Amino acid sequence: MRIRHFAYISLMALALSGCNDALETAQVDLSKVKNKVEQPLPSHILAQMSAKGMDRNSPIMIRIFKEEGAMEIWKAKTDNRFDKIADYKICAWSGRLGPKVKTGDRQAPEGFYDLTRANLNPNSKYYLAINTGFPNRYDAANGRSGSDLMIHGACSSSGCYSMTDQQVLEIYAFARDAFKGGQATVQLQAFPFRMTAENMVKHRLDGNYDFWKMLKVGYDNFEVTKRPPEVNVCEKKYVFNQQATDGSAFNAAGKCPAMSTPPALTAALASYGKTYDADYAKAMSKFDGMAWYDPTEAERKAVVAKQRKGRELAYAPTGTSLEAGRMVKVAELEDMMAKRTAQGLAAKSASGATPVTPAQPQAVAVAAATPAVVPVPMQNPLAFAAPEPQETAEATAKKPFWKFWARN
């Protein structure tokens, strides 16, 4: 009897283990959550933090990859670098790959955004929410418009990154604890896809490619240093980890000041760039005459339509571009893009609306890259308490990062 009982328990444990492996995130019975704003992180995440050498209230960073429908939480370790502590499947994001340009375009933001305590919304009608901070200085300088674009629960999106309520409960807790630990701003990095050589080759014909190359510089800086890059804007473009040599402030729409990059970082990026160049050449050979077809939101929804069965109507997962997109011949892609543009212009004309022209790609100098293991000196993320950002944050001198690089 005992043996039979033990076998039964073992089988149940195995079944539950398999079930848990399939879950997108640790399940929480929301009806038993007494205070969602102060709900602690699950014990298994706290155990992971301890194993990785992370303080519960150390700084975090959030990364989003639209194409994969993935959101990652990275957290500072006691050895001064960031490591991934959690990842989630984004339940719904609207539009297609590419940045948000204007109100009503249904696009979810892409770029680098600073989140403060004020971005946390404990009273959201979508359970909990975190404002992405769109438009930021880059968006404003380029005339982009939109407001109230959130990371929130409910799994339904119109320009937002929507999660399940259980997921946003954890994400909110990560940000709350980091702010309690003294982090002034949490960096949100929103990318169209993981900016590997293969992905850049696949998307090389997209009209947003130059914009994405600019974002890739920030992506590369993080991959090399495992530290959120210092982000500034000048001449209506992003610049990363740049020091104004004459001490001038960065003006989003004005001319960039004379800038320099710390020698250690320059060397690391150069080494990292050699690996990227080799990978890019291989990818060009691999995908010769082919490019990626980015699916529409409707095509993504069709792939995951069955997920809505038995759910509330508001539950509207959108699926990933990887599931609905595909590689096609370049000629076929160009023909599809031409037809889509013509259909869009015809629809605008029929409705009497003014045609919306695509945002012009930004001409930027790009530092090539893809990961390589290169030791780079790092500052302690807990050693400096930056002041709470104000509306004139772009004119505020940022000292700790550069003092550290100068010393090393």
Known catalytic residues?
Answer: 152, 160
Which residues, including other chains, have CB under 8 Å from residue 52's CB and lie 6 or more apart? 75, 77, 83, 85
Q: How far apart are CA 228 and CA 63, in angstroms?
A: 10
Cα separations in angstroms, 246 against 237, 249, 275 = 20, 9, 33
Q: Find the farthest-apart pair of alpha carbons in the chain and give their distance in angstroms, rounded.
A: 81
Could you write out the DSSP letters of every residue in 239-303?
A: EES-EETT-PPP-SSSPPPPEE--HHHHHHHHHHHHHHHHHHHHHHHHTTTEEEE---HHHHHHH
Q: At residue 96, what is the residue type?
A: R
Token pair 């001038």 is at which residue? 248
**What is the length of the chain?**
408
Nearest to 59 by CA among 112, 118, 116, 111: 116
Write out the two tokens for 87: 């990842």
Write out the two tokens for 214: 């600019």
